[in-house]
Amino acid sequence: MNKILVPVDFSDASSNALSYAIQLFGASSLEITILHIYGVKSSGALIMKNIDGILEKDAKQKMDELLKNVQKEYPDVVFKPKIIKNYAVSAIAAMGDRGNYDFIVMGTKGASGLKEVFMGSIAGGVVSKTSAPVIVVPANHAYQPLEKIVLAVSGSPFSDAKVIEPMRKIATLHQSKIKVLHIADKKTPQIEKALSAIEDLNPSVDYAFGTGNTNKDLNEYLKKDFSGLVCLIRTKKGFMDRLLNESVTLKQTFNSPVPLLILHD
């Protein structure tokens, strides 16, 4: 059984992520924990208690309504609601680190320029702190059959072949074709050898030679060659760090047209 954690704020973006998770992993043999986190800061304990009570009551009402709708539409899925008071990033990351979930699936809000793409930067924070695989889904993305997955790498792809097992799991489930996209200044023949860990998936290899701006190079490639999912491997000095290096708060400047699967090496 696949066990998925889906944080929600009851927005359209998080509802879309929940729907995407169900369609991606299939309604049968699927357990989804729907997590809502609330919390306030206040200098007065009494005021805080009163506001927290209101927020909790409102969250329970919205959660009940959400559960009623999704359970009716997907009766085969096991839904587990969870409402807690905490800091969102640390709570979600900690739940992911416990190893109880195969994936965390989160919604994103599209933006351009220097605006945040991740919902309130929470998804970006979770990506930076958890060791669990994270799938971020653009708010307006409609699920489509996952015919192809692009594994985007730069430099050494990964140090341990186990890091790509979540991608392998999804690819096997959907019988997806794997295309390895190496973003580089020049062709690197060693990349094929380095990717021997996924040779059983018969990956093809492509190169994106460009400006040195990882965001721009990847975005331009995706415009030309559509994929259903882009897989990124985050290392201490790897791809995702370069993708996000313009902000220490992980404010994302890349507005992906497709969902991102982010793995941690």
More confident residue, 80 or 122: 80
- Is residue 109 within 8 Å of 14, Cβ to Cβ? no
- Give the global pTM: 0.85
Q: What is the pLDDT, as a whole number, of residue 239?
A: 53
35 Cβ partners below 8 Å, 6+ apart? 5, 6, 7, 8, 82, 83, 84, 92, 95
End-to-end CA gap in the chain:
24
**pLDDT confidence tier of residue 153, bands split at 50, 70 and 90:** confident
Residue 193 confidence class, pLDDT cut points 50, 70, 90: low
- In this predicted structure, the answer to whether residue 32 has a pLDDT above a threshold of 90 is yes
Which among 65-69, 148-152, 211-215, 226-230 has the top mean pLDDT? 65-69
Query: For the residues 85-105, what does the mean pLDDT come to?
Result: 94
Q: How many CB atoms lie within 10 A of CB 192?
A: 13
Among 13-22, 34-43, 216-225, the least confident range: 216-225
79 forms beta bridges with 32
Is 245 or 215 the better-scoring residue by pLDDT?
215
- Which domains are seen in the chain, by residue range? 2-138 (3.40.50.620), 148-264 (3.40.50.620)
- Indicate if the pLDDT at residue 114 is higher than 50: no
For position 157, what pLDDT does the model report? Answer: 62
Answer for the pair 224, 200: CB distance below 8 angstroms, yes or no.
no
Between CA 66 and CA 101 the distance in angstroms is 21
Predicted local confidence at residue 54, as pLDDT:
85
Measured at the CA of 65, the angle between CA 64 and CA 71, to 5 degrees, comes to 85
At 249 the pLDDT is 28
Query: Taking 90 as the threshold, does the pLDDT of residue 190 lie above it?
Result: no
| Residue % of the chain over a pLDDT of 70 | 71
The answer on pLDDT for 9 being more than 80 is yes
By DSSP bridging, strand 204-209 and strand 229-234 are unpaired
Checking if the pLDDT of 16 tops 90, the result is yes
pLDDT at 238 over 60: no
In the prediction, which pLDDT does 72 show? Answer: 95
Closest CA to 236 of 227, 228, 244: 244
- The sheet with strand 204-209 has its strands ordered as 78-85, 30-38, 2-7, 103-108, 134-138, 260-264, 229-234, 148-153, 177-184, 204-209
190 vs 7, which has greater pLDDT? 7
pLDDT of residue 204: 86
> Cα separation of 192 and 206, whole Å?
10
Say what the pLDDT of residue 35 is: 96
Residue 140 predicted with pLDDT over 90: no
Quickly state the pLDDT bin for 198 (edges 50, 70, 90): confident
pLDDT at 126: 87
Res. 160: pLDDT tops 90: no
The whole-number average pLDDT for the span 65-88 is 94
**Residues near 11 by Cβ (< 8 Å), separated by ≥ 6?**
107, 109, 119
